Structure 1
Amino acid sequence: MRPLITVENLSMVFDGKTVIKDLSFTLAEGEILGIIGRSGAGKTVLMHLLRGVDQPPTGGRVLYHIAACDGCEYVTIGSHEGTACPRCGALLKSIDVDFWNPDNEGMKRRIMLRNAIMFQRTFALYGNDRVIDNVLKALDDVSFPSHKAVSRAADLVDQVRLSHRMMHIARDLSGGEKQRVVLARQLAKEPFCLFADEPTGTLDPKTASIVHQVLKESAEETGMAMVVTSHFSQILEDIVHRAILLDDGAIKAIGTPAEVTEVFMQGYHDDEQFGAIEVGEEIMRARELSKRYVSLDRGLIRAVDLVDLSVNRKEILGIIGTSGAGKTTLSKMIAGILEPTSGDLIAKVGDEWVDMTKPGFEFRGRAKQYIGLLHQEYDLFPHRTVLDNLTDAIGLEFPKELAMRKAIITLKMAGFTTEKSKEILERLPGTLSEGERHRVALAQVLIREPHVVVLDEPTGTMDLITKVDVKHSIMHSREEMEETFIIVSHDMDFVRDTCDRCALMRFGKIVKVGPTAEVLAEVTEQERQTMAAE
């Protein structure tokens, strides 16, 4: 196959730390290349260098082998040389472009216009508009003929298997559906290469497989090349032709998906031991706690209905249940974000019990400052350094020396080594891997020194190795900071391996609470399948 991109001796250094080390490989026209590696391997940095985002490489080159039109700005794959430009009719000429050479800024811009990118966690949709309108706006952005736009938009929606959601409001879609709308918007550009950075990193395995299949079919139908990064080895088996394993910024293996996956999983084990924890006294208690809403179309909704629950110091408590069971609403009341409709909710602050059902600084406000909440869709400030994200950006005022000391200590509690903690302080979140950003987000919660930390779906659908990293960060935090954790999750394996006790919710009620193994035994097969698909 004819090469589309050639990477030659590519290197990238951030603040004296080499994060991409002398990489060389090619991407052929129409090829789907998978780049896999653990958190911090350098996948996202490499993707940005291939796409043309952020900073130029410290060394090496990225060469694009394309066909360009002299009559207009159209560019396409090199094998189209000698054919007529589809826009102006002029002859397309073959050219090799040194992508990051400052003298080639104009050609770089033209190439980027014909490339597309999908980021994880960033759906980039018009949330209040319908699916079809989102795609129509993407077509308008590329000046697609207006009299053909509706038909083309419908074709794109059908291509990503969302014809049954065409008139839905985008914000009301599931994560997997939103990701497919993003893909339809990107396909509207008719790209010759699509860069997908962890496109299914927050989706459950079943939904991820659907998105993988749509990506593969889209590449096959359009002939576009694709580069897909992931820490999720399933994506290699589902869609890619060839795979690269990155390890600490270097290529550790390159070959077939099966060959690379085998190397990726070599030596995997979870043998870190944690000391026995003596759970302390009760520090939070809910009695007949309820949250009700009134909906015009559904009437009275009992989101949480007469719940009784206690939380003990230093324990890790899991809250599980299918979508709509009430676990997220319950966790938001525990975190002080939602006010209960009725019932009792008290939290221990020092030696005093504080009533969280009452507003005001002496009541819910007082308890809330000692409760941290980490959403699944956490949001670090992208243009602030890790140090700023842990201090200035969240209103913590420390002298510089103390801020650095406190940040390093907290990053260690979140699972980083001392050396890694120091190395990332002045880096931007975008230069970190997904797993590293998750740990920084946890550190952002821990640095406020909460007594209780509520984690909303902390693992998403991470691969097995990254889930172990998250488990270890939680365990380290409990050991070192005597933290109490409440974990809301649909991941039964993670709950089993991490939580001391567990509460199972159905239809707003807690139907069983107790040791994790006992509660998990009460989960029905239908519930397991439903939670696996959420």
Structure 2
Amino acid sequence: MIQIQHLNKTFGSGDGAVHALEEINLDIRQGEIFGIIGLSGAGKSTLVRCMNLLERPTAGKVIVDGQDMTALSEKELRLARRNITMIFQSFNLLMQRTCLKNVCFPMELCGVPADKARRRAAELMELVGLGDKADAYPAQLSGGQKQRVAIARALATDPKVLLCDEATSALDPTTTASILELLKDLNRKLGVTVVVITHQMSVIEEICSRVAILDGGVVAEQGTVEDIFSHPSTDAARRLVYPGGASVQQYGAATHAVRVAFNGGSAYQPLIASLAIECGVKVNILGADTRNIDGKAFGTMLLGLPDDPNDAAKALSYIRSQPDVAAEEVEYHA
């Protein structure tokens, strides 16, 4: 659906040039929900604006549904953008228009007859769960409701691709969850390809099937969400997957510990309790950064081992025998 090939974007020239994106290569499949994540300044928003040519790449190609966007004339590009719509963190609604008329707006620009546009807008308002807010103004809505109107407006031209640039960053966790659920529902019902740009790993966990990690304008790592969470292979990925980390250095000198990595096994197997029951060995949880994704456990845990070497060896052997678990001994000397 979307192929990004050797894409580069440079702002300015000479000594003052800023290389925002370098050699970006991505392949986003039709009908999937694809995530692009990175810390502030990683180049996420520049990349998404290059996808619909709001920013023209310095070099490289953006191919959408077989069409090279970088080769189109301005007129052709305006037509092509109807298939690639966008929602933003700030909603960008027209405050002087009702919600229904906000949704009508892109259809007006496309020359759709007014009565047909109103009917379609009413259908979309129902689709996003705001059929009763058609005559309300944006100022009368909550943040989540405004984003739902923005989503309805983005769907007005029946796009093939929906770009979401930090679309939930201004929302509280409960509202964020409802918007993500709506996007998943629209993806299932309409088959629209969704590209999610975010700095929040929780959003990627909740909604995406695959993800690319952007770091300093380059793609540091990409793959399925499950694989990235199981085996983050770059520092950029590890910073995002395990932001707090689990370090033995905050504990006393000569602390004997084991760092356990959970790589997608059942999230419902109580490792620590099983170790105590089956081996009679107790360990201390020194730190943990784990998460449950579709019933599978990912993340790391730092466990303090017993002083007795036999008990420590018994604990290590048991942990390493568990499926989808890796264990690495860690010892810190001041």
TM-score by length of 2: 0.66
Distance 2:199 2:228 in 1: 13
Distance 1:362 1:400 in 2: 23
Letter in 1 for 2:2: M
Structure 1 match to 2:126: 412
Letter in 1 for 2:227: E
Distance 2:76 2:210 in 1: 27
CA pair 512-438 structure 1, distance change in 2 beyond 3 A? same
Structure 1 match to 2:44: 327
Letter in 2 for 1:301: V
Structure 2 match to 1:343: 60
Structure 2 match to 1:433: 142
Offset from partner CA, 1:472-497 (integer Å, 9 cap, x none): 21012112211101010011111111
Letter in 2 for 1:324: G
Alignment of 1:268-347 (within 5 A): 283-294=1-12, 299-347=16-64
Structure 1 match to 2:69: 356
Distance 1:396 1:525 in 2: 44
CA pair 294-398 structure 1, distance change in 2 beyond 3 A? closer
Distance 1:286 1:359 in 2: 16
Offset from partner CA, 1:409-440 (integer Å, 9 cap, x none): 212333x0xxx41x211111111111101100
Considering only aligned residues, what root-mean-square deviation do their CA atoms show, in Å? Answer: 2.3
Offset from partner CA, 1:463-518 (integer Å, 9 cap, x none): 22211110121012112211101010011111111001100011111121111122
CA pair 476-400 structure 1, distance change in 2 beyond 3 A? same
Q: Does 1:374 align with 2:78?
A: no
Q: In structure 1, the residue corresponding to 2:7 is in which secondary structure?
A: strand
Structure 1 match to 2:189: 480
Q: Does 1:470 align with 2:179?
A: yes
CA pair 478-301 structure 1, distance change in 2 beyond 3 A? same
Structure 1 residue 332: deviation in Å? 0.5
Structure 2 residue runs of 5 or longer lacking an equivalent are 245-334
CA pair 528-325 structure 1, distance change in 2 beyond 3 A? farther
Letter in 2 for 1:403: A
Offset from partner CA, 1:167-213 (integer Å, 9 cap, x none): xxxxxxxxxxxxxxxxxxxxxxxxxxxxxxxxxxxxxxxxxxxxxxx
Distance 1:436 1:506 in 2: 32
- Are the equivalent residues in 2 in contact too, given 1:322–1:527 (CA < 8 A)? no
Q: In structure 1, the residue corresponding to 2:5 is in which secondary structure?
A: strand
Structure 2 match to 1:504: 213
Q: In structure 2, the residue corresponding to 1:304 is in which secondary structure?
A: strand
Structure 1 match to 2:199: 490
- Are the equivalent residues in 1 in contact too, given 2:43–2:214 (CA < 8 A)? yes
TM-score by length of 1: 0.42
- Are the equivalent residues in 2 in contact too, given 1:359–1:365 (CA < 8 A)? no
CA pair 397-426 structure 1, distance change in 2 beyond 3 A? farther
Structure 2 match to 1:267: none
Structure 1 residue runs of 5 or longer lacking an equivalent are 1-282
Distance 1:425 1:526 in 2: 40
Structure 1 residue 319: deviation in Å? 0.2
Q: In structure 2, the residue corresponding to 1:357 is in which secondary structure?
A: helix
Distance 1:388 1:373 in 2: 18
Distance 2:167 2:39 in 1: 16
Letter in 2 for 1:313: Q
Higher relative CO (Cα under 8 Å, sequence separation at least 6) belongs to 2
Letter in 2 for 1:338: E
Identity %: 26
- Are the equivalent residues in 2 in contact too, given 1:413–1:473 (CA < 8 A)? no
Distance 2:101 2:240 in 1: 45
Distance 2:59 2:185 in 1: 36
Structure 1 residue 408: deviation in Å? 2.5
Distance 1:358 1:400 in 2: 33
CA pair 396-345 structure 1, distance change in 2 beyond 3 A? closer
Structure 1 residue 366: deviation in Å? 4.1
Q: In structure 2, the residue corresponding to 1:387 is in which secondary structure?
A: helix
CA pair 395-526 structure 1, distance change in 2 beyond 3 A? closer
Structure 1 residue 396: deviation in Å? 5.0
Distance 1:378 1:368 in 2: 18
Number of equivalent positions: 238
Q: Does 1:525 align with 2:239?
A: yes
- Are the equivalent residues in 2 in contact too, given 1:336–1:356 (CA < 8 A)? yes
- Are the equivalent residues in 2 in contact too, given 1:320–1:490 (CA < 8 A)? yes
Letter in 1 for 2:124: T
Q: Does 1:444 align with 2:144?
A: no
Distance 2:97 2:76 in 1: 33
Structure 1 residue 462: deviation in Å? 2.5
Structure 1 match to 2:117: 403
Structure 2 match to 1:516: 225
